[in-house]
Amino acid sequence: MRRCAKRPVLEEQTDDGRSMSDSTHLRLLAARSIGLFGGTFDPVHLGHLLLAECVAEVLALDLMLFMPAYIPPHKRNGRTITPAEHRLEMLLRAVQGNPRFAVSTREIDAGGASYTVETVQWMRSAYPNVEPVLLIGGDSARDFHTWHRPDEIARLARPVVVARPGAELPAELIPGVALECVEAPLVDISSTDIRERIAGGRSVRYRLPESVIDYINQHGIYR
C-alpha cells in the first residue's frame, strides 16, 4: 500500500479563469508547471474544485487546466451524457475567480472519443517548455495499463495519482513507471448523486457552486 504526500498550503489570489481564450493561451505559455484534469464534469461539483485546488497547492502548479471530454472512452455505459456546450459552460462558471484554474476546449473541439495520449501529445507540441502533470484517480490507477498507449502517456507527462488516504494502490502504474501519489480530500460528492438528486427534486446546495446551480435551473438540465 502506498501513502500519499502532503505539502503546505499556498496563498490564494483572485482572477478570472474562464475559457481557452487568448488570455488563457498566454497563461499557458507563461506557466512552467501545468496540471491536466480531465473528465466528463457532468456536472462539475465542489469535490472536483477542492481536489484541483489541493493538488495545485501540493505540487506548486502554476496552472490547473480542466479538460472536459467530448466522449470519454471509459464511460460508454449507455448513459446519455449532457451535451458538451452545457458541461463546458458549467465548468467555465465554476472556475471563474481562481487564478490557477483554466479550461481547455481542445477535446470538445476535436469531437469523437477523447484519448488522453492525444491530449498530452497536443500539450507537448503546443507548449514544449512544460512537463504536464496528469491527474489520475485512484480507481483509474489500477486500470492505467488498459488505457490507449499508456507507455506514451507516461513518457510525455508526469502521471500523478490522486487517491483517498490509506487507499491500496499498485507500486507501479505500468512496468517501469513508479506510482506518484497525492492525497485527495475526503469529500463524498459525486456527479451521479447530483444528477439523481436533481431528477428527484432534492437539494444540491453546498454540492455545486451557486453559479452552476443557477445554470442548471435556467436550462432544466438533469430533470
Distance of CA 202 to the CA centre of its chain: 26
Pairing outcome for strands 101-103 and 63-68: parallel
Q: What is the pLDDT of residue 115?
A: 92
Q: What is the pLDDT of residue 74?
A: 61
Could you tell me the pTM of the whole model?
Answer: 0.87
Task: Tell me the average confidence (pLDDT) per consecutive run of 10 residues in the chain, 223 residues long.
Answer: 39 36 83 94 97 96 96 68 96 96 94 93 93 93 94 97 89 94 91 97 98 98 96
Side chain identity at residue 210, one-letter code: E
Residue 86 · residue 219 · CB < 8 Å: yes
Listed in sequence order, the residues at least 6 apart from 160 whose beta carbon sits closer than 8 Å to its beta carbon are 35, 55, 59, 133, 134, 135, 136, 180, 181, 182
Q: What is the pLDDT of residue 20?
A: 54
The cell numbers describing 20, all together, are: 481557452
CA distance linking residue 5 with residue 184, whole number of Å: 10
Q: What is the pLDDT of residue 175?
A: 95
Q: What is the pLDDT of residue 1?
A: 39
CA distance linking residue 36 with residue 103, whole number of Å: 10
Q: What is the pLDDT of residue 78?
A: 65
Q: What is the pLDDT of residue 4?
A: 53
Q: What is the pLDDT of residue 186?
A: 86
Listed in sequence order, the residues at least 6 apart from 76 whose beta carbon sits closer than 8 Å to its beta carbon are none
CA distance linking residue 52 with residue 136, whole number of Å: 12
Architecture of domain 22-187: 3-Layer(aba) Sandwich (3.40)
Beta bridge partners of 65: 36, 102
